[in-house]
Structure 1
Amino acid sequence: MTPTPTTPFAILDSLLIAPFRLLPQPEAAFLFGVVVLALAGAALGRAGYALVARAQRARWTTQDAETKRRQELSIQAAQAGNKAAYLAQNHLAQEAYGNTMALSAGRAAALLWPACALLAWLYWRFEDVPMPLLWEGAGPGYYFLPVYAAILWIHSRLARAKKAAPPANTGSAA
């Protein structure tokens, strides 16, 4: 069943299928389309991650500081030989760390939801199409997931390198 051309899903479907129709050879067009979708999904995921990180910034900073403070207090209590204080502070440090991990899960969800949506669309669109260069039971996920993961990995490496690089000297030497 194909959607009517005026529904939002039909508009989205025609937008998503466009890269698959750019090349004349079907196998190359499929691979090109998967790469384009993976790039778009990764960009959307990184944007969502940045938005969630920005929204969580104050809470993240508070929870991280609380974790470090409680950890230090538990170490001090252990060094003083106060087992009850150590256990209490350690429990509070673990609770604060758990809150930090929950915030991290939100960021991960923001990063991954575009991949899930695009993968669902790929399986819907290419349900009965044999995948090029793979065995009969393979689906589009065998192409999409490694490409998506590689793009996210490359982006994270580039972001780390950019963050670690010294700032460019734009002033003139006198």
Structure 2
Amino acid sequence: MNHHHNLSEKALRLGDKESYKAVNRQALDAFGHSFSLGAAIFCVSIWPMPFVLAWMHLRFADAPLELSFRLPFLGSTVHYFASFLLLYIAVRMLYSMVMNRFEWYSRLKASLAGQKG
């Protein structure tokens, strides 16, 4: 996308409107592809959630988590869905921070980003 963006700016500076439109169209296609791929990866990453939530409902529906403090809008008890959601978000953030520290993972992400554009 960045390559196409730079080409479109160069065409605009040179005054070539047809080239600008053609390159800009390619950049929009690349962005659409990248956005769709990101949405697909997101969907793939959350597919186990309904199964986990169904299992948690069977196990913990009648046993809310008692807190030693009050939370705004929730009170002093938290049900399984809220606790799962908070834990899931925390794990995803921690995973992202930990994995980005590995050089091989960063190289893999960079090589995959290079193949897309």
- Match among 66, 72, 85 for residue 133 of structure 1: 66
Paired residues of 2:64 and 2:80 also in contact (CA < 8 A): yes
**Aligned partner of 1:118: which letter?**
V
Residue by residue, what CA displacement relative to the aligned partner does 1:69-109 show, whole Å, maximum 9, x if unpaired?
43232122111112232123212201111101111111112
TM-score normalised by structure 1 residue count: 0.47
Paired residues of 1:115 and 1:148 also in contact (CA < 8 A): no
Paired residues of 2:66 and 2:77 also in contact (CA < 8 A): no
Report deviation, 1:121: 2.6
Higher strand share: 2
Paired residues of 1:123 and 1:139 also in contact (CA < 8 A): no
Where structure 1 has 5 or more consecutive residues not aligned to the other structure, the ranges are 1-66, 165-174
How many residue pairs were aligned? 97
Q: Which gives a bigger RCO, structure 1 or 2 (Cα 8 Å, sep 6+)?
A: 1
> Is residue 86 from structure 1 mapped to residue 86 from structure 2 by the alignment?
no
CA distance in 2, matches of 1:96, 1:119: 36
State, as a whole percentage, how many aligned pairs show the same letter.
27
Runs (4+) off by over 4 Å: 134-138
Residue by residue, what CA displacement relative to the aligned partner does 1:101-131 show, whole Å, maximum 9, x if unpaired?
111111112222223321233234433x141
TM-score normalised by structure 2 residue count: 0.66
- Match among 143, 148, 161 for residue 83 of structure 2: 143
